[in-house]
Amino acid sequence: MPFGILDPKLPAHERVPGTVHLYQAIHGVDQFPSANLKRDGDIILVPQPSDSPNDPLNWSIRKKDFVLFIICLEGIVASTVSPILASSTLVLVLYFQRGFQAIALLTGYHLAGAAVASVFITAIFVKYGKRFPYIFASAVLVGSAAWAAVATSYKSLLWARVLQGVALAPFEIAINASVGDMYFVHQRGVRLALVSLSIFGTTFLTPIITGVVTFNLGWHWMFWLVLIFSSVTFVLVVLFVPEHVYNREKRLNTDYVGEDLDGQGPQSDSTTTGSDLADEEKEKTTSTGQQPQEEKETFLHSLRLFSGSKTSRPLWKIFLRPFALLLHPAVIWGCLTQGPLIAWTAMIGVVLAAVFMGPPLWYTEVNVGYMYTGAVIGALIGFVIAGVLSDLSAKWLSRHNNNIYEPEFRIVLVIPQMICGCIGIWGFGFISSDMFKYSQYLPPFFFGLETCGMILGAVAGASYITDAYRDIQIEAFVTMLLFKNLFAFALTDKAYVWILALGVKQCFIIIGAVQLAVSAVTLLFWIVGKWNRYIMHRHNILRILHLE
């Protein structure tokens, strides 16, 4: 039991999927033969790249980071539309002559739209790769921003918001997987932290900006700005985000049987899309298993929308796979690690709109927007902690574990997540229940602690799934998105009712207690995670349901 992780008893030649030999032994003999494997210094490259210049793993680090930067930039623009109405709630209540709950549902249905769209878009991701869905989502974002900018009725704005959810879905479910497509295990931590900051953290800048925009220019201008920025990022995505899903054959070296080069074990798929072994066999051209030399792809060739099918699996099976993963313990763990803290921010947004903008405080849109400053700072701090701790702890623990890396090493982040998240939730609830008694700077401070915990949880969940279950990562992220968004939708639907019935303080006491229990349960996955990986490998849920 390395560091308390439950280690199943296996035959000497067998390895648990996700367990990888990360370092070359400096003294003594490696536990597993590792000759002839590609390395970065003394770090064995996981997964092992092919010899093709078109393999994204072989791209220069500068090209990888540039592609990821553009995807994250588009993700930031797409994510801003989720909280874009947070500081303008009262203005919209007066404009449309609707109640607070109806305005909250403009965000709720937006999240529901993202959840529903994610299931259909995932099938395209897995079947045809990532370039086309990214371009499609960028185009939808431009169109829906233009629609919202000219909307004059509640119904019109509502449907524009649903479409904005459709545009958001691909970036929420696939950027983490894009990191897995392009980077090796030892390079992913800081990049996954950057992704989480882009999708979840920078969204808290939006109310600060839109509060000022609404106050000075009117609420329509929020969406005009989205239209301007999304038009620019759409062009960048079209020109500079090539297809980065690559079908590489399984490397089965008889001298290295059982070594998990790809993080998935000897019988799982090596591509991020989970391509079938039958497809991989067709790609083999020699008995040595080497691939033929490919010509380097030209820039014009990289602009094509499609680069062929990535799997022979039918679309209907791909469509059903995320629902089947609701039975997968690791995916359930990922839902609990990411979902609740992200959803609690919706509750905080409701309090800021209903309590701070109403009597007796009467905050303006600008004042409420500034309350999100603490959330931005907290997200940045969470990004730094996650980026540093995720990779460093994984490398340190691997070196002290006979050079063997376990994906459970990423779960370390749940500890600071629990501390920051629970203190932030309870502190915000206590202070907001009596603002005349406490400083006005305390709610943003505790909001910042909550968002810091949110980023830590998002990175922990994404990095664990990416490293432990690469063959189902896209579908797993969809399942997590469905849980998160539908949970947040339920909160926006009932939040005002709960606050009126229980009061702010009591609501947040309950929420904090729930978060504490969830964090404690997810920490147990440190112990049983490796055992679960082995059980899920032996008794594959997707195989049992004939969806593999």
Q: What is the pLDDT of residue 448?
A: 93
Cα 438 to its chain centre, rounded Å, is 36
Helices (H) and strands (E) counted in the chain, each on its own, are 20, 4
Q: What is the pLDDT of residue 277?
A: 32
* Spatial CB neighbours of 486, under 8 Å, sequence gap ≥ 6: 111, 112, 115
Ordered domains of the chain (ranges, CATH): 56-244+328-544 (1.20.1250.20)
404-405 and 20-21 strand pairing: antiparallel
The one-digit pLDDT tens for each residue of the chain (548 residues) are 568 888 888 777 777 888 887 765 443 334 444 556 787 777 778 788 888 888 888 899 999 999 999 999 999 999 889 888 888 888 898 899 988 888 888 988 898 888 888 888 888 888 888 899 999 999 999 999 999 999 999 999 999 999 999 999 888 888 888 888 898 888 887 888 888 888 877 778 888 888 889 888 999 999 999 999 999 999 999 999 999 888 765 433 333 333 344 444 433 333 333 333 334 333 433 344 474 567 888 888 888 888 878 778 888 888 898 899 999 999 999 999 988 988 888 788 877 777 787 777 778 878 888 888 898 899 889 988 988 888 788 888 888 888 888 889 988 899 999 999 999 999 999 988 887 788 778 889 999 999 999 989 988 988 899 888 888 888 898 898 889 888 888 887 787 788 888 888 999 999 999 999 999 888 888 999 899 999 998 888 989 998 87
Q: What is the pLDDT of residue 280?
A: 37
- Helix axis angle for 188-196 and 442-468, nearest 10°, is 130
Task: Return d(Cα 427, Cα 420) in angstroms, integer.
Answer: 10
Residue 26: what pLDDT?
A: 41
Cβ burial 57-75 (10 Å sphere, 16+ → b, else e): bbbeeeebbebbebbbbbb
Torsion (CA) 288, 256, 295, 69 in degrees, nearest 10: 170
Q: How far apart are CA 419 and CA 416, in angstroms?
A: 5
The predicted structure's pLDDT at residue 24: 53
